Amino acid sequence: MTDAAYRGRFAPSPSGPLHFGSLLAAVGSFLDARSRGGEWLLRMEDLDPPREVPGAADNILHTLEAFGLYWDGEVTYQSHRHALYREALDRLEQMGQTYPCGCTRREIRAHVGSDGAKRIYPGTCRDGLPPGRTARSVRLRVPDIEISFDDRVQGAISEWLPEQSGDFILLRADGLFAYQLAVVVDDADQGITDIVRGTDLLDSTCQQITLQQALGHSTPRYLHLPMVVNERGQKLSKQTHARAVTTDHAVATLCSVLRALGQPLTDEAADCNLADFWERAVNSWQAEQIPRAQMITER
């Protein structure tokens, strides 16, 4: 099946080199797009300078190329797109959907306690800043509704916004635009129809749909791939000392990725060159074979 209207993307943050988990997200989104004859864009999510590692963005691009993961068009960098985020924030402000918040992280933590997995803002500044407080951040006034969507792998997901999300941050106290705002603005601006990414972002999806609705954008289709964890159950990341993928045995590494994604793989696949490997992988891609798990362990 080809679908010329399909437009997907891979959106790494340059906080370190690609590891097995981020390569899996790249491969999953690439194959889903290419198997439909769609486009695959690359967006560098370099919104948070303190978390960036110098050289990581270029390193990621070179690694993708070494694996034969070629993207369409120019790479976009979130750091160059602040004007778009500002415009969206202004629009939400004008519609009365935002408010300034004067709370510190410590105050919110103290209010919520440390047991909850997800910290829900208690709404302290919703009806105006308490006397003597100055605005630190800007929050979205979330509507009193349930958001639901049908994930292509994870199934039906829903979230009651006031209880499971709360009024979330759009502009951080350090002056940086929040990830949720930037992603929604970029996906709409780039005409993304399909978002294929790891389940580490499943929790963000209902907030992103809330913002899409507030800004009048359509909601893309979602497919959340299992997140790769180490033997201790931790998400692979720089913080958990995930090994960078090496490109020395690119096809063998890609075969491991396809196996983790539940894809049918013939014995000859491992002996292919990269071009042949991708041709086979694109032709045999079956999204419905992806394990319906939120986590898989790196083998």
- For 110, residues 6+ apart whose C-beta sits below 8 A from its C-beta are none
Residue number with CB closer to Zn ion (125 or 140): 125
The CA–CA distances, whole Å, from 133 to 110, 129, 174 equal 17, 6, 16
Q: Minimum Å distance from CB 115 to Zn ion?
A: 21
Residue number with CB closer to Zn ion (101 or 188): 101
Residue 130 has which token pair? Answer: 């308490």
Q: Minimum Å distance from CB 277 to Zn ion?
A: 52
Binding site for Zn ion (CB under 5 A): 101, 103, 124-125
Q: Minimum Å distance from CB 152 to Zn ion?
A: 37
Q: Minimum Å distance from CB 76 to Zn ion?
A: 32
Specify whether the CB–CB gap between 212 and 221 falls below 8 A: no
Cα–Cα distance, 28 to 169 (Å, whole number): 30
Q: Minimum Å distance from CB 176 to Zn ion?
A: 18
Residue number with CB closer to Zn ion (104 or 297): 104
Residue number with CB closer to Zn ion (31 or 138): 138
Residue number with CB closer to Zn ion (64 or 101): 101
Dihedral, CA of residue 83, residue 87, residue 90 and residue 94, to nearest 10:
160
- 40: β partners: 8
Residue 265 CB neighbours (<10 A): 17
